[in-house]
Chain A
Amino acid sequence: MQRLKYVLSEVLVGLWRNVTMTVAMIITLAVSLAMLGASGLMYLQVNSMKDFYYDQIEVAIFLNNDVTDQQRSDLDNALKSDPLVAEVIYESKEQAHEKFKTMYADAPDLVNAVKPGQLPESFRVRLKNPEQFQQINDKYKNNEGVETIVDQQRLLDKIFNILGSVQNMALLAASIMAIAALLLVGNTIQVAAYSKRREVAVMKLVGASNWFIQAPFVLEAVVAGLIGSIIAFVGLFLGKLFLLDGSLRDLTELLTPLSWADVLLMFPLMAGVGALVSAVTAWVTLRFYLRV
């Protein structure tokens, strides 16, 4: 109890003694943690989008213009009994035209240019496992009456690849900021240790345990890490409130919505990483600097 009180008061005095450095350290910690949190959210988001879209994914098997009824019903039967297939829906030329009209309702010229019957009929196939497109393609592409087979997953994959690289960029930026933050933590701890060098020398001389000598400095770094993660969390919170739910609303409606629960989930992640990484940095710095 006695020791705890001593250590805590040392921590507060230590952070205050060197305010400008402490502020710089906390800001860089906050920015890098916010970036970490943002890429964490992006990761969750991409996953939920994948679940959502891959669930609706279809393979479209377009039929020749001159397909016979026999060929069509053979293909229908083959698809319906195929173990890879979850669901088969037939789309006639008329239905295709209707869909096209609604899809491009705001481009009447385009709609008028395409006459009913010009668009091919197709089977819309939902696979049990969307990854198995290649097998479906190999199996049916040479069937009589089949024109082409199109996999919508290709398209989605491209989109997710872009999202993935954005996420990697955010992580990269977070790590670069993290290096800056760690250097600042190390430096702050060095300055703190220097300003208390007399106390540290006496403590070593009279046999204070290593953890007792180091604890105030390490805790100083941990407190800074926690404050940084709180600021980062507030940043994410405001980002969702004013950007995603505010000015960028139209864009975000295209995507699956980002839940508050996910944002909340980032707090323990950021606090944990912030506190742990600062503590380890401080500890390593002290090992070199104090040689305790």
Chain B
Amino acid sequence: MIQLEHVTKTYPKASRPSLDEVSVGIEKGEFVFFIGPSGSGKSTIIKLLLHEVTPNQGRVVVNGRDVTSMRSWKIPNFRRSIGCVFQDFRLLPNRTAYENVAFALEVIGKTKAVARRVVPEVLELVGLGGKEHRYPHELSGGEQQRVAVARAFVNRPLILLADEPTGNLDPDTSIEIMRLLDRINRTGTTVVMVTHDSNIVNQMRRRVVEIESGRIVRDQARGVYG
């Protein structure tokens, strides 16, 4: 499902590579934590998978497609098979929860009728039933992140990427978001989650890939944070 092969990424003007000869494979339906100290290159992996940045060396294969050599006009369509959640939610402040999720559908060409059918469904799934018409500033941080998860999942992507989705949330709320991602994973969606939250990693007992200064130092099937 996801394959990094000897990937090296050095940002322009950077003195040392942010990722150095990284190779890792992720199967369909897996749940993988990426952990490591700040600046170790975790977000860079997410950006590579989204084709926001391109590697200097090596190959990135997602859904059987070589992202490295993908023509730029194919990228939008490619991104529709990937859902994304970030630490800062990235919701549109002047749109309600419903509209934020519907926006993601409408801009890829789905009709309003389709949105009316699937958006309430997915908002129900993330536990926001009844709060569809609240604006982001009328929702708690955890609720806002649920909207973001709903938006990422509404298109039923094959892969969900989450870059520190609980970074701005308190421990209890973090656990709830974590349960949500776990549920999404159980529908068959591959989930890649970058996190600093040892609590969550230790509770979940899923595969853990640890990165330090751009290299993989540990890859454990039922790992702990440690």
Contacts and interface: CB of A to CB of B under 8 A. Distances in A.
A199 B92 CA distance: 7
24 contacts: A2-B106, A2-B111, A2-B112, A6-B106, A198-B90, A199-B103, A202-B90, A202-B92, A202-B104, A202-B107, A205-B50, A206-B79, A206-B104, A206-B107, A207-B76, A207-B77, A207-B79, A207-B108, A208-B76, A208-B108, A209-B76, A212-B107, A212-B109, A213-B107
A206 B92 contact: no
B107 A201 contact: no
B20 to A, nearest CB: 26
Interface in B71-115: 73, 75-80, 82, 84, 90, 92-93, 103-104, 106-109, 111-112
Contacts of A201: 90
Would you list the 3 A-B pairs with minimal beta carbon distance, nearest first? A207-B79, A207-B80, A208-B107
Interface of A: 2-3, 6, 198-199, 201-210, 212-213
A2 B106 CA distance: 9
Contacts of B151: 206
Contacts of B75: 207
Contacts of B77: 207, 209
A18 B81 CA distance: 36
A210 B111 contact: no
B155 interface: yes
A202 B50 CA distance: 13
Interface string B135-174: 0000000000000000100010000000000000000000
A81 to B, nearest CB: 72
Contacts of A199: 92, 103
Nearest to B109: A3
Contacts of A205: 50, 79, 84, 90
Q: How large is the interface on B (under 10, 10 to 19, 20 to 34, 35 or more residues)?
A: 20 to 34
Nearest to B75: A207
Contacts of A2: 106, 111-112
A210 B78 CA distance: 13
Nearest to B83: A206
Contacts of B82: 207
Contacts of B84: 205
Nearest to B73: A210
A210 B80 CA distance: 13
Which residue, B77, B78, B103, has most C-beta atoms of chain A within 10 A?
A: B103
Given A206-B104, A206-B155, 9 more contacts: A199-B92, A205-B50, A205-B84, A205-B90, A206-B108, A206-B151, A207-B77, A209-B77, A212-B109
Contact of B80 (A3, A202, A206, A212): A206
B76 A202 contact: no
Contacts of B78: 207
Contacts of A3: 109
Contacts of B111: 2
A193 to B, nearest CB: 15
Contacts of A212: 107, 109
A74 to B, nearest CB: 80
Contacts of B109: 3, 209, 212
A205 B76 CA distance: 8
Which residue among B79, B92, B107, B111 has the maximum number of chain A CB atoms within 10 Å of its CB?
B107
A206 B150 CA distance: 12
Interface in B36-93: 50, 73, 75-80, 82, 84, 90, 92-93
Contacts of A206: 79-80, 104, 107-108, 151, 155
A14 to B, nearest CB: 15
A202 B78 CA distance: 15
A201 B92 CA distance: 10
